Amino acid sequence: MSGHWALVPVKRLERAKSRLSPLLGAAERMELAGAMLRDVLGMLADVERLDGIALITNDPQAMHLARLAGATIVPDRIEAGTNEAVLQGLEWLRPRAGASAIVVPGDIPFATAAEINAVAEAMDSHAVVLAPALRDGGTNLLGMKPSDAMLPAFGESSFARHLAAARAAGIEPRILHLEGAGHDIDVSSDLFCSAEGGTATRLFLERLAQRNPMPATAWPKEELQP
C-alpha cells in the first residue's frame, strides 16, 4: 500500500523519559510514556490522510497499544536509538512503492489529527516537511516524500540538522509551526503544558499532581523559562 505512513519509533518504556528522573520514579516514567503513546496512537488512528501506522519497537506494552490502535509492529532489531529505529521503519516501508513517511515521536501527546493532516497536505508539494519543537530546538514531526528523501537526524538541536540536511540534498523544506505537535514532554516544565488534547497524558498528570503537590517555586529555575 502506498500513500502516507506514520512511523512511530518507541524505545523500551522502562528506559523512557530519563531526564525526568529527578522528579519521577521509574514506574511513573514508564506510566507517563505509556500514556503519551496511547494518546499519539489514538490520534493517528483518526488521521484521514494516513494509509497506515507503523510502530518500531521491541517493548511489549508498546506492542500491545499498537495492536489496540490497529498499527503495524516493526521490530526494532538494533535498539540503538531513535534514528536507527526510524531507519528500520523506512527500510520496512521501502517495498511499498510510492509510500511517504511522517515520523511521529511517541512523546507528543498533544498533537492533533488536523496537524498530521496539515503535514500530509504540505507533502503534496514539498519533499520534506518539518515541525519544530516549540522549546528546545528539536524536530517533533518529519515528513518525507519519497520516504528516502533524506536521513533522519533526531537528537539535540535536530531541527537545525534536518534543515541543513534537506538543503544539502537540494530540498527547501516546508516548515510548519504547530501548537499541539510542538509540545513534547522531556523536562519538568513540560508537565505544565496548556495545549489541548492528550487525554491519557492529562489524567496521568492530574494523578501525579494529587500524589505529589509541589509549588512552582520548587522547580529548577531554568525549567520554568517559557
Q: Picking from 88-92, 125-129, 201-205, which range would have the lowest pLDDT averaged per residue?
A: 201-205
Q: H/E element holding 57?
A: strand 50-57
Under the banding of pLDDT at 50, 70 and 90, the label for residue 24 is confident
C-alpha grid cell, residue 141 = 514531526
For 64, which DSSP code?
H
Q: H/E element holding 43?
A: helix 26-44
Q: What angle do CA 109, 18, 90 make, to 5 degrees?
A: 60
pLDDT at 211 > cutoff 50: yes
Q: What is the mean pLDDT of the chain?
A: 89
CA distances from 138 to 48, 144, 155 (A): 26, 17, 7
pLDDT at 18 > cutoff 90: no
The whole-number pLDDT of residue 157 equals: 93
The whole-number pLDDT of residue 193 equals: 64
pLDDT at 223 > cutoff 70: no
pLDDT at 115 > cutoff 60: yes
> Average pLDDT for residues 19-35, to the nearest whole number?
91
- For the entire predicted model, the pTM comes to 0.90
Q: Regarding predicted confidence, which is higher, 220 or 81? A: 81
The whole-number pLDDT of residue 1 equals: 45
> Average pLDDT for residues 133-145, to the nearest whole number?
94
Under the banding of pLDDT at 50, 70 and 90, the label for residue 225 is very low
Beta sheet of 50-57, edge-to-edge order: 72-75, 50-57, 3-9, 99-103, 139-144, 128-132, 174-175
- Beta pairing class for 139-144 and 128-132: antiparallel
CA distances from 124 to 89, 118, 121, 180 (A): 21, 10, 5, 22
Question: CA 155, 68, 61, 186 torsion: positive or negative?
Answer: positive
Domains assigned to the chain: 3-223 (3.90.550.10)
Q: H/E element holding 7?
A: strand 3-9
